[in-house]
A and B are shown apart, each in its own frame.
Chain A
Amino acid sequence: MADRTFPIEGTLDLTPAHVHEHTWLEVLHEWVTTVDHKKLGIMYVLYGFFFLLVGGAEALAIRVQLAEPNNHFLSPEVYNRFFTMHGTTMVFLVGMTIIFGFANYLVPLMIGARDMAFPRLNAFSFWMTAFGGLMLYYSFLGGSGLYGVGNAPDVGWFAYAPLTARAFSPGNATDYWALALIVTGVGTVGTAINVIATALSMRCKGMTLMRMPLFVWLSVVTSGLTLVTITPLTAAQIMLVIDRYLGGHFFDTQAGGSAVIWMHFFWIFGHPEVYVLVLPAFAIANEIIPVFSRKAIFGYPAMVAASVGIAFVSLGVWAHHMFTIGMTSVSNAFFVLSTMLVGIPTGIKIFNWVATMWGGKIRFATPMLFLTAFVFQFLLAGLTGIMLAVAPWDWQLHNSYFVIAHFHYVLVGAILFAIFGGLYYWFPKATGRMLNETLGKWNFWLFFIGFHVTFDTMHFVGMLGMPRSIYTYEADRGWGHLNLIVSIGAFIQGISVLIFTTNLLWSAFRGKVAGNDPWDAWTLEWAAASPPPVYNFPTEPSVSSRRPLWDLKHPEDPDWKYE
């Protein structure tokens, strides 16, 4: 990792912005009122990481409760609140915020722009998301009104009707859930619009669509998918609020309404949402794998096409969450086939990543370790996904821990691993210091081991018939030992996340100084200073290939000759 000084002398001014001492109040004021995409991106990631710790703590409490039969570590009521809050937190407050944090920070830098298209909209979106999350967690205090005992949402993260009706969920907990998601939804849609407008309208000279880094491409696809995914959820939440507050009958079976239509509306959001979360993980992989394999990405146009393909197909697969409600065999067959169809573009991506690594001079720094594990684990997650797409198989295992294991393989094994890799990779850009590699290796190996101990074992628990969301189980079911193993793995992951937290705090102040381009990478963000000044680039860059910094470092053999 030679710390070269790029770009060439005289082309770009790389002196970091002059820093002078501020009082903490001034610093706070600056962060609260900022419209800078880099500060907002960092706040998104920190906010998401904070809730990762909260949601993780909830998961650990759930695992203690399930570690042995007939356990009473948590009360049944608290248990219901914890698994509801764990799911809602991880999807809306961790996944969505961290991926949009990455997009916020990186998209303008990668396309050579000075900021997002709408900086103030950007700040507005962040604060909407932030306050939505606080509102959700305030329910622990105010769920039944300030006069009653606190009562967080306990209806499951998909909140099936009619459990959410006033009669079955009295108090305000469910209202907090619905309103908080509407508020964060507004923020998410605002950011999605902003990312698309930035990528399409703010590109520097020479940055044609087919020269955009794949990270930017995938951010655009993700944002486009967000536009048509979060909004149906918002619509469904508005209906739920109308039912609960104005006496509407959308999901009221007593008045001719349908509980199944909530399932449809929720999963029309819910399944594409998985792709909204996983596409940014692909985006991170598309940047990190080539840099650490020392090769250009294999099949750039195929990657773009596959991403767009996944986005479209993902809009037509939602009812595979509903095979057990008794649909017609034609509907079942349609959703089986459409779900399996997703495997094709996804398979193209996996082949491309492997082909990128193939014959490369692979450098296993911490980011690459995480991303290698990502490819392997995402493949396994995809395979159990194909199994569950087969309707008769799903009839057996629906709502079992096999399903839980499958989607945690995606959400943790793919998305969280990619996020960790991305944090190790771009942390030097954001702070000017490297994350510690030794702690990084500990972080990776403990997380990898913990992950497999937990989620590999969980598949077997599921196949032995353990249903999801149950409070406890009888000893004679034979799930006890396996559940204990699952819980032990969860704690190994917990320790690993604590190591990462330590690394984050320590390296931010004491880490090795990184320089502008510590990984010898090729995209434009590495041409800016670390950390970049408020204006990113003193002069507007101009590019002529997909790897502008490669061209700069290798004037004898530039990429633009071949593209």
Chain B
Amino acid sequence: MSTATLIPHATHAPEQEWNLPSRGRVAMYCLIIGESAIFVIFVVAYIYYIGRSLTGPTPREVLDVPIFNTICLLSSSLTIWIAERSLERNKIRLFGAWWALTLVLGAIFLVGTGIEWHTLIYEKGLTISTNLFGTTFYSLVGLHASHVIFGLIGLSTVLIFTLLGKVREEHSERIQVLALYWHFVDAVWVVVFTVVYILGR
């Protein structure tokens, strides 16, 4: 788009750099702020209801700390960061490898959560309607898991495009915007983990 002079005087002013923030980044930060507010409400509800269940089972009886899962998810933030840097340096194959690893780590986390829930429901008898702990636990962890699922869908889409050879250095910006979301999902897990498995037990 060429720039016409709406104001004749503007041309007299010294030409300044005209830099605006990337709209993708701005939008993703906004989305993250909005999503954070949703998580805050669920976390507040969780904390408020700790120890208020009228019947068992209690968190201490049934919850195991998911150390392995947590390590997988948190390290996926590192691998996606390496992938971003690789793409910036135009190393597409390296990018694909680190991106795929991120996806695998995220998937391991999700499967781990699935196994945890299966054990809780079928062996330890805790469902969402059992007591307040069940209601708040499945809601909060489930809300986070649903974000992991959305993230994995995004990551898979990029991986498919990478395998098809469509991802190039110029897409760096967009990839980084998506990666921001993934970093957010990881950061939220730190909060959820602390609240559910440390404070709540």
* Residues in chain A within 8 A of chain B (CB atoms): 7, 11-12, 114, 117-118, 189, 192-194, 196-198, 200-203, 205-206, 223-224, 227-232, 234-236, 238-239, 242-243, 246-250, 255-258, 261, 265, 268, 524, 527, 538-545, 548, 551-552, 555, 558, 560
Contact = CB atoms under 8 A, between A and B. Distances in A.
B38 A232 contact: yes
Given A231-B38, A232-B41, A540-B1, A200 B7 contact: no
A205 B129 contact: no
Contacts of B129: 246-249
Contact of A527 (B6, B23, B38): B6
A548 B37 CA distance: 38
Interface of B: 1-10, 13, 18, 20-23, 26-27, 30-31, 33-35, 37-38, 40-42, 45, 48-49, 52-55, 128-129, 131-132, 135-136, 139, 143
Given A189-B34, A227-B33, A542 B5 contact: yes
A268 B42 CA distance: 13
Contacts of A201: 20-23, 26
A236 B10 contact: no
B7 A203 contact: no
A248 B10 contact: no
A410 to B, nearest CB: 24
Given A11-B6, A248-B129, A541-B4, 7 more contacts: A193-B30, A205-B18, A227-B33, A231-B35, A231-B41, A243-B135, A558-B9
Contact of B42 (A223, A230, A235, A539): A235
Nearest to B40: A232
Given A201-B21, A247-B128, A543 B6 contact: yes
Contact of A193 (B7, B34, B52, B139): B34
A200 B25 CA distance: 11
A313 B4 CA distance: 42
Given A227-B33, A231-B37, A248-B139, A551 B4 contact: no
Contacts of A268: 41
B30 A196 contact: yes
Nearest to A112: B6
Nearest to A114: B1
Contacts of A524: 6
B15 to A, nearest CB: 10
A256 B22 CA distance: 47
A11 B30 CA distance: 36
A250 B135 contact: yes
B26 A200 contact: yes
B1 A543 contact: no
A261 B3 CA distance: 55
Contacts of B31: 189, 193
Contact of A194 (B27, B33, B40, B131): B27
Contacts of A114: 1
B6 A548 contact: yes
A108 to B, nearest CB: 12
Given A117-B27, A539-B1, A256 B20 contact: no
Given A196-B30, A235-B38, A539-B1, A544 B135 contact: no
A228 B34 contact: yes
